[in-house]
Homo-oligomer: A and B are copies of this chain.
Amino acid sequence: MNTFATPAVPALRVALLGCGNVGSQVARILLEDAQSLQARVGARLELTGIAVRTLDAPRDVDLPRELFTLDAQALVEDADIVIELMGGFEPARTLILRAIGHGATVVTGNKALLAQDGPALYEKADAAGVELCYEAAVAGAIPILRPIRDSLAGDRITRVLGIVNGTTNYILDQMDSTGAQFADALAAAQDLGYAEADPTADIEGHDAASKAAILASLSFHTRFALENVHCEGITSITAQDIAAARADGYVIKLLAIAELLQDQAGDDGVSVRVHPTLIPRTHPLAAVHGAFNAVFVEAENAGELMFYGQGAGGTPTASAVLGDVVSAARRLVLGGPGRTETTTGHVPALGIDTVSTSYCIGLKVKDQPGVLARIAQIFSNNGVSIETMSQQINQTDDGSATADLRIVTHRAVEASLDATVKQVADLDVIHSVTSVLRVEGV
């Protein structure tokens, strides 16, 4: 029984513009997770259509044919929420302005448009009293704009250092870990789909520069556009640069930096820039590998913060888009301040007995033939699978020998593990169980 789609539940009409890498995932989630999204919003999110340039282009996701339309304008006119994922300047800008004009909430991931025309778009949205959300425009899945705008609203940000382009981070990370030259690392990134056939926007820093302008605008409550960003790419970085940096304890990252500074007269100003940068290998940003992104924020009161996650990819970026959609939809439904939490789930709390995890068990045992086999048999009897077992022999003063045994298990249920440990402890060849610890993150 579908308990959700009753006529009593209000609906919000959602128009999707664009069905590429990110758009197709957004459509999939809107359709697949319709029930849980409805429970969180308090209204149905009704996907009214997907505006595309070609009706029968191949898509990443299998979507109902009847949703596609070539008439983006009609779709926008009829929507409560417009999700713009076409990219580029036109017709994206015109469609966003039209949506704002008739009072629709706009969610976009269009960093290039925001970096160029953001100030004008924000003003129109403010004047019309509608929300313009763009979490997906910077650092993909990482929630960074909302923390800067809201969570740090009572603080003073002094500097933002961001790894905001996955392509260049992948290339530099490859150069650092393999010693490859730039051209070879770029070719590898292209083979893996991390870099496009024309990689200019990434490797010359233009993509990072757009994000730097957006980050700077939010961090310093001042509108900065692309023309305010000093931009250098990574094309001149050599394997020798990387090796020399490594020898000195540094790693080279392409950073988007927005920094509050004093000019020569002592007055405040903001530097917004993108360039390859040495950072100490002990810095939290140095541990950001592959195509991952991270934004490091320094604030007067909060101190150092870092936000880490996937900076690109259809599904992660779709998560950021949907976060904006649901948050905005909640406010449309409720009006006024949003609910402080939602309790739409009804899952029970499980006892620790039902948890399944890996365990590391330390035992002190007599050094006798057959001990390992007897212990292993008890694990097996309880359905607990052993991943590794290692032992170290100790000679005692009286000439007899004991062994320190360490066993790491595969994932097992806590209750089975408990039973195993109790039975092992009762063996006459066991001196003591020295530790039982859980293992996570593997």
Residue of B nearest to A155 (CB): B319
Residue A346 interfacial (CB < 8 Å): yes
CB-CB under 8 A from A283, the residues of chain B are 441
- Return the CB mask of A98-137 against B: 1 if under 8 Å, else 0: 0000000100000000000001001001100111110100
Residue A373 interfacial (CB < 8 Å): no
9-residue interface stretch from A174-182, A216-224, A424-432:
A216-224
A–B complex contacts, Cβ < 8 Å, 20 sampled: A33-B156, A37-B154, A125-B340, A132-B340, A141-B302, A151-B320, A154-B322, A154-B325, A155-B322, A230-B352, A261-B356, A269-B347, A279-B441, A280-B442, A285-B441, A302-B319, A306-B306, A331-B337, A332-B337, A336-B336
Contact assessment for B341 and A301 in the assembled complex, using a CB-CB cutoff below 8 Å: no
Contact assessment for B261 and A354 in the assembled complex, using a CB-CB cutoff below 8 Å: yes
Contact assessment for B440 and A221 in the assembled complex, using a CB-CB cutoff below 8 Å: no
Interface residues on A, range: 35 or more
Measured in the bound complex, the distance between the Cα atoms of B353 and A264 in whole Å is: 11
Q: Which residues of A contact B (CB under 8 A)?
A: 25, 29, 33, 36-37, 39-40, 105, 119, 122, 125-126, 129-133, 135, 141-143, 146-147, 149-156, 161, 217-218, 220-224, 228, 230, 236, 238, 240-241, 244-245, 248, 250, 252, 255, 257, 259-261, 263-264, 268-273, 275-280, 283-287, 296, 299, 301-310, 313, 315-316, 318-328, 330-332, 335-352, 354-356, 360, 362, 406, 408, 434-435, 437-442
| A355 in complex: contacting residue of B125, B261, B276, B355, CB < 8 Å | B261
Name the residue in A37, A151, A244, A313 with the highest tally of chain B Cβ atoms < 10 Å from its Cβ.
Answer: A151
Contact assessment for A146 and B150 in the assembled complex, using a CB-CB cutoff below 8 Å: yes
Give the Cβ gap from A23 to chain B, nearest Cβ, in Å.
Answer: 14
Known contacts: A141-B303, A330-B153, A339-B126. The answer to whether A346 contacts B287 by CB under 8 A is no
Known interface pairs A40-B153, A122-B343, A279-B439; 20 further A-B residue pairs with C-beta atoms within 8 A, sorted by A's residue number = A36-B156, A40-B154, A129-B336, A146-B146, A147-B147, A151-B323, A152-B319, A153-B330, A154-B326, A221-B344, A224-B349, A241-B362, A244-B362, A248-B406, A261-B356, A271-B352, A273-B355, A296-B441, A302-B316, A328-B337
Name the residue in A36, A220, A340 with the highest tally of chain B Cβ atoms < 10 Å from its Cβ.
Answer: A340
Measured in the bound complex, the distance between the Cα atoms of B338 and A279 in whole Å is: 37
Known contacts: A271-B350, A309-B303. The answer to whether A221 contacts B342 by CB under 8 A is yes
Measured in the bound complex, the distance between the Cα atoms of B319 and A350 in whole Å is: 35
Contact assessment for A437 and B308 in the assembled complex, using a CB-CB cutoff below 8 Å: no
Contact assessment for A29 and B301 in the assembled complex, using a CB-CB cutoff below 8 Å: yes
